[in-house]
Chains A and B, each alone.
Chain A
Amino acid sequence: NAGVTQTPKFQVLKTGQSMTLQCAQDMNHEYMSWYRQDPGMGLRLIHYSVGAGITDQGEVPNGYNVSRSTTEDFPLRLLSAAPSQTSVYFCASSTQAGRIGNTIYFGEGSWLTVV
């Protein structure tokens, strides 16, 4: 989990509330992404970014917004939280999008519960 920092670690939200999960990396990585992990499932890609100012949707983008104003930060926003968004969220980064041999580093996760 070298260099990828996620906050908060735990959060409880009420339905309809908004919040932002923060992700920062200090490795000057171009590529950053957000995944969610649900019980009994692998990680699923929400949004990703190949560089500052560029973002794109992953497999499960609905209900989430992202922005990439700097290389270091890639926040994930929930505009109106729903119970279906209860999950563990992981941020990941790597040196360069698409290059074979990249190591993709994950943060330690953010546990989100929506009641």
Chain B
Amino acid sequence: GQQLNQSPQSMFIQEGEDVSMNCTSSSIFNTWLWYKQDPGEGPVLLIALYKAGELTSNGRLTAQFGITRKDSFLNISASIPSDVGIYFCAGQLPGTDKLIFGTGTRLQVFP
């Protein structure tokens, strides 16, 4: 099945550091979504992007919808221990609610 290329696969960082992850695709999407998944839970929406070039923030999180509509990045500033989890990007196919997910970035934050 189709999946997005998400990188890096995992990150081990120290508390207070900034984090950056991105997703790329060969397909164009209407919407890019970023989710966080904690162990034993379902994905929870962090940020949604609806227009090419859009830059959106949610607290310490910032995400951008690439101009080509084929990529997106997520930045987390000043990481804290509760940022630990798996982050997924997802692209929404035009005209549907079908989501294509990235393979995830596992984030570990050390105090």
| Chain A residues within 8 Å of B, Cβ to Cβ | 1, 4, 31, 33, 35, 40-45, 48, 50, 58-60, 90, 92, 94, 97-98, 100-109
Contact = CB atoms under 8 A, between A and B. Distances in A.
B27 to A, nearest CB: 13
Q: Report the interface size class on chain B.
A: 20 to 34
Interface in B31-50: 31, 33, 35, 40-45, 48, 50
Interface of A, helix, strand, loop or mixed by DSSP = loop
Contacts of A109: 40-42
A92 B69 CA distance: 24
Contacts of B30: 100
A7 to B, nearest CB: 14
B99 to A, nearest CB: 7
B73 interface: no
Contact of A98 (B40, B42, B95): B95
A11 to B, nearest CB: 15
Q: Which 10 A-B pairs have the closest CB atoms?
A: A42-B101, A59-B1, A106-B42, A43-B101, A31-B97, A98-B95, A108-B42, A97-B97, A44-B1, A106-B43
